[in-house]
């Protein structure tokens, strides 16, 4: 089979598995994907890492991969106040958790905090002293990411 034929065959098998009620079909796909992942971990660890980051989405209501988060933060206008290292250091200094299962992962929190500052930083600074600003933005971001009605979605907000 050539590449196009293999792609079509894979898509057909995937659709068959996804549309069936047979758990054994899901197990077959899972075992094959486990074999594939083992090969990638051994031979192409950078690709394996990217796929693991995507698979981790099953743990979170709000998640972003590191690549997605970097791209979002780089494109913020006004510019985001914290790069990943600055943010992580400030989070450690304040003793804040980076993620909270099942609500959000660290990339979603980092982006949402930067979003709050990019969108409302000037207004917040009028009412909150500089030494409390980071803490306030953290709590506003956590409020959005853990909102009980679940309407906020960082992925939808940034069209992912």
pLDDT band at 85; cut points 50, 70, 90:
very high
Phi, psi of 104 (to 5 degrees): -155, 150
Number of H helices, E strands in the chain: 8, 0
Whether 57 is covered by a domain: the verdict is no
Domain coverage including residue 95: 66-157
Domains: count for the chain: 2
pLDDT at 129: 86
pTM of the model: 0.84
Q: Are residues 70 and 140 in the same domain?
A: yes
- pLDDT of 11-34, one tens digit each? 999 999 999 989 999 999 999 999
Q: Are residues 81 and 145 in the same domain?
A: yes
Q: Are residues 35 and 98 in the same domain?
A: no
Q: Are residues 87 and 123 in the same domain?
A: yes
Q: How far is CA 69 from the centre of its chain?
A: 7
Whether 110 is covered by a domain: the verdict is yes
Whether 127 is covered by a domain: the verdict is yes
Q: Are residues 75 and 153 in the same domain?
A: yes
């Amino acid at each position: 089979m050539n590449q196009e034929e293999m792609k079509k065959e894979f898509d057909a098998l995937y659709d068959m598995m996804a549309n069936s009620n047979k758990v054994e079909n899901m197990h077959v796909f899972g075992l094959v994907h486990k074999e594939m992942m083992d090969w990638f971990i051994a031979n192409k660890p950078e690709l394996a890492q990217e796929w693991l980051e995507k698979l981790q989405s099953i743990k979170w209501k709000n998640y972003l991969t590191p690549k997605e988060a970097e791209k979002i933060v780089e494109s913020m206008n006004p510019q985001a106040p914290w790069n990943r290292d600055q943010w992580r250091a400030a989070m450690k200094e304040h003793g804040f958790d980076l993620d909270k299962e099942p609500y959000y992962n660290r990339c979603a929190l980092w982006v949402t905090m930067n979003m709050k500052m990019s969108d409302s930083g000037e207004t917040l600074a009028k009412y909150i002293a500089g030494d409390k600003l980071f803490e306030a933005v953290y709590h506003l971001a956590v409020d959005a990411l853990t909102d009980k009605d679940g309407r906020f979605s960082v992925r939808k907000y940034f069209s992912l």
